[in-house]
Amino acid sequence: MSELETATSPTESSAPPASRGGQRVGGFTILGMHLSLGALIAWASILALLVLLALGLLRSQQGPVAVGQTAPVFTLTTFDGEQIDLGNLRGKVIVINFWASWCKPCEQEAADLEAAWRRYEPGGQVVFLGVDYVDTEPEARAYLRKFDITYPNGPDLATRVSQAYRIRGVPETYVVGPDGKLAFVKIGPFERLDEITGAVDPLLQP
């Protein structure tokens, strides 16, 4: 076989992928790296996740919403399907309690919270809202039945409410005054009924 016959023909030789203006067929060239569309989407997803984690870390370092600040507004859909918009409750005292069925310290204050609600309900000046944190609905409903809790409660969907208040755990309770500003914060369970009334009574209009 001649030397001419054994030589590799131009059509059989290896050739670099075709390119157009820095974009290769089947992918993208970014900072000198060739990435397929799938890899590009994966890197974009990772970057978005890192941004969310950084924002979450920043919120946690800021600590809970402080007394004197305007309370973040939210809409809570209760387990009974009722929608309660915090923005529509201006002029009332609002007691927002974050809890979960798996939270043992929450059980310590459950009876006192319900007793306080029954005391204030007839006057119409105070609203209690329970925000169920990272829970399942069957267990949450069983908890409410166990402690005979009658004030409105609903799940914290996608933890939007707890993120807005930057809670660090449960239970935590936030009392909002008639002016819409945070008047009292309790980290951990209430130990006595008069601890709850002591936070609410000074905010009531004579």
Residues of the chain with pLDDT > 90, as a percent, come to 67
More confident residue, 166 or 20: 166
What's the confidence (pLDDT) of residue 38?
Answer: 75
Q: Summarize pLDDT for 111-166 with one digit per residue, the tens.
A: 999 999 999 999 999 999 999 999 999 999 999 999 999 999 999 999 999 999 99
- In degrees and rounded to multiples of 5, residue 27 shows phi and psi of 180, -165
**What's the confidence (pLDDT) of residue 41?**
79
- Residue 49 has a pLDDT of 59
Predicted confidence (pLDDT) per residue in 25-59, tens digit: 455 665 565 667 776 677 677 876 565 444 444 44
How much is the pLDDT for 40? 66
Q: What is the pLDDT of residue 48?
A: 64
* Low-confidence winner among 19-23, 36-40, 74-78, 101-105 (lowest mean pLDDT): 19-23
Average pLDDT value for residue range 66-90: 96
Domain 75-203: assigned CATH number: 3.40.30.10
